[in-house]
């Protein structure tokens, strides 16, 4: 096998603001893995919060000697990368799955034995913005079945009043660590009247007991994202949260994601699969795991204007997996 990488620059439809940060472009890394005349694709969308960059991930991946690696031995190949480099592992893991499917001539969902018809409906994310802008974005998205509203800027009630004035579908919240435990408990009691499905990461990561405090007081179920990066993060959250948000780049790819789904299920937790701002390569891989999850937040391609690939498609928010071999992702013809 031979591996090369190239940076992707993705432009956002709207400036994307969450409780911590704001951005207009997203940089991800495309991985090309070649073996016996077959080219497979992977992607990594390194997360600044964990000091990851596309440069570092590219360096980790390009220094690998895969000339004698066995492409069917996923764990052995992934074991060539340190466990604490999940972003690099993610790029390689996706490419290995894509390669295996392409060499067998079957879609990855068949390789995994999951039913593509059971792929979930995704939420569509509305970032933090002025009330006027939030109303406009909600109006634009009003036909979609599920919205995920980013909160944590101090205008929570006004924001939800504005959203609910034009939207009757399912609403999820994500505070991205924006509140203290006391604020979260009070806030979630107040926001209950807006009919909220769940709230993601109300408080700063790293305090399971504080999460338990919030969960015991909140009428709205609590999911965690920043608190749950990898498999070993799940057990300490037992009893403290209602569920976890798995992202492939956070955990290191599809293989680790599947392990996390089973671990969370064994502890009675709900499972969501999410994404960063990333192209159809990573989001199609995430979509392939949604038949195994309760919820999906796989809207990356909907948030960008220049996705270089086609893969997962959206039918009123329902994820449709492509039927082609491997991940089923193909280059989008230039406009
Ligand atoms: Mg989140």
What per-residue confidence (pLDDT) applies to 178?
95
**Stretch 15-33: mean pLDDT, rounded?**
88
Percent of the chain with pLDDT over 90: 92
pLDDT in tens, 272-288: 999 999 999 999 999 99
Is residue 279 domain-shared with residue 261, that is, in the same domain?
yes
Contacts by residues 157-163 (CB-CB < 8 Å, ≥ 24 positions apart) = 157/190, 157/191, 158/131, 159/128, 159/131, 159/134, 160/191, 160/194, 161/194, 162/131, 162/134, 162/135, 162/138, 163/126, 163/134, 163/135, 163/138, 163/194
Residues, beta carbon < 5 Å, ion ligand 1 = 174, 200, 225
In the listed set 71, 105, 139, which residue is the last one of a domain according to the structure? 105
What's the pLDDT score for residue 334? 76
Of the candidates 84, 105, 126, which is a domain's last residue?
105
The whole-number pLDDT of residue 97 equals 98
Per-residue pLDDT at 20 exceeds 80: no
Residue 15 banded pLDDT, cuts 50, 70, 90: confident
Per residue in 252-279, pLDDT (tens digit) is 999 999 999 999 999 999 999 999 999 9
Q: Is the pLDDT of residue 331 over 90?
A: yes
Q: How far is the CA of 244 from the centre of ligand 1 (A)?
A: 10
**pLDDT at position 154, please?**
86
Instruction: For residue range 77-125, list pLDDT tens digits in order.
Output: 999 999 999 999 999 999 999 999 999 999 999 999 999 999 999 999 9
For the stretch 163-207, pLDDT in tens is 999 999 999 999 999 999 999 999 999 999 999 999 999 999 999
Please indicate, yes or no, whether residues 57 and 128 belong to a single structural domain of this protein. Answer: no
Domain shared by 151 and 67, yes or no: no
Strands 330-331 and 309-310: antiparallel
Q: In the predicted model, what is the mean pLDDT of the chain?
A: 96
- Closest by CA to 92, choosing from 59, 46, 68, 61, is 61
* pLDDT at residue number 194: 98
Instruction: Measure 145 CA to ligand 1 centroid, in angstroms.
Output: 19
CA of 186 to the centre of ligand 1 (A): 20
How far, in Å, is the centroid of ligand 1 from the Cα of 37? 39
Domain holding 175: CATH number?
Answer: 3.20.20.120
| Same domain as 309, residue 180 | yes
Distance 171 CA to ligand 1 centre (A): 14
CA of 226 to the centre of ligand 1 (A): 7
Distance separating alpha carbons of residues 333 and 159, to the nearest angstrom: 39
* Ligand 1 midpoint to CA 225 (Å): 5
Interval between CA 133 and ligand 1 midpoint (Å): 21
How many structural domains does the chain have? 2
Q: Do 76 and 167 belong to one domain?
A: no
CATH of the domain at 88: 3.30.390.10
Q: What is the pLDDT of residue 307?
A: 96
Instruction: Tell how far the Cα of 196 is from the centroid of ligand 1, in angstroms.
Output: 15
Q: Give yes or no: residues 63 and 143 share one domain.
A: no
pLDDT for position 31: 98
Domain of 168, in residue numbers: 112-331
State residue 17's pLDDT score.
81
User: Are 226 and 262 in a shared domain?
Assistant: yes
Cβ neighbours, 10 Å, residue 83: 13
Among 54, 81, 105, which residue terminates a domain?
Answer: 105
pLDDT of residue 196: 98
pTM for the structure as a whole = 0.95
Domain identity same for 99 and 134: no
Distance from Cα 310 to the centre of ligand 1, integer Å: 24
Same domain, 202 and 69: no
**Gap between the Cα atoms of 293 and 206, Å rounded:** 24
Q: Are 309 and 279 in contact (CB under 8 A)?
A: yes
């Amino acid at each position: 096998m031979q591996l090369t990488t190239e940076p992707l620059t993705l432009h956002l439809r709207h400036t994307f603001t969450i409780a911590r940060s704001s951005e207009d472009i997203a940089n991800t890394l495309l991985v090309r893995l070649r073996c016996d005349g077959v080219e497979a694709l992977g992607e990594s969308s390194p997360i600044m919060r964990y000091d990851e960059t596309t440069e570092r991930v590219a360096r980790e991946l390009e220094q690998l000697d895969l000339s004698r690696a066995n492409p069917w031995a996923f764990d052995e190949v992934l074991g060539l990368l340190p466990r604490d480099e999940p972003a690099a592992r993610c790029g390689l893991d996706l490419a290995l799955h894509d390669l295996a499917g392409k060499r067998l001539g079957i879609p990855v969902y068949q390789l995994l034995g999951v039913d593509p018809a059971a792929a979930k409906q995704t939420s569509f994310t509305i970032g933090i913005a002025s009330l006027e802008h939030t109303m406009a974005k909600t109006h634009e998205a009003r036909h979609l079945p599920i919205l995920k509203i980013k909160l944590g800027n101090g205008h929570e009630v006004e924001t939800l009043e504005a959203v609910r004035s034009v939207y009757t579908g399912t609403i999820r919240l994500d505070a991205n660590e924006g509140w203290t435990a006391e604020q979260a408990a009070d806030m979630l009691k107040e926001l209950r009247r807006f009919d909220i499905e769940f709230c993601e990461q109300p408080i700063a990561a790293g305090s399971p007991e504080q999460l338990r405090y919030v969960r015991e007081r909140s009428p709205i179920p609590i999911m965690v994202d920043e608190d749950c990066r990898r498999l070993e993060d799940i057990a300490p959250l037992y009893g403290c949260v209602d569920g976890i948000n798995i992202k492939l780049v956070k955990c290191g790819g599809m293989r680790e994601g599947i392990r996390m789904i089973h671990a969370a299920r064994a502890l009675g937790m709900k499972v969501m699969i999410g994404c960063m701002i990333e192209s159809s390569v990573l989001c199609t891989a995430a979509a392939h795991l949604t038949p195994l999850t309760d919820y999906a937040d796989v809207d990356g391609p909907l948030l960008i204007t220049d996705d270089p690939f086609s893969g997962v498609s959206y039918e009123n928010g329902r994820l449709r997996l492509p039927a082609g071999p491997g991940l089923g992702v193909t280059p989008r013809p230039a406009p």
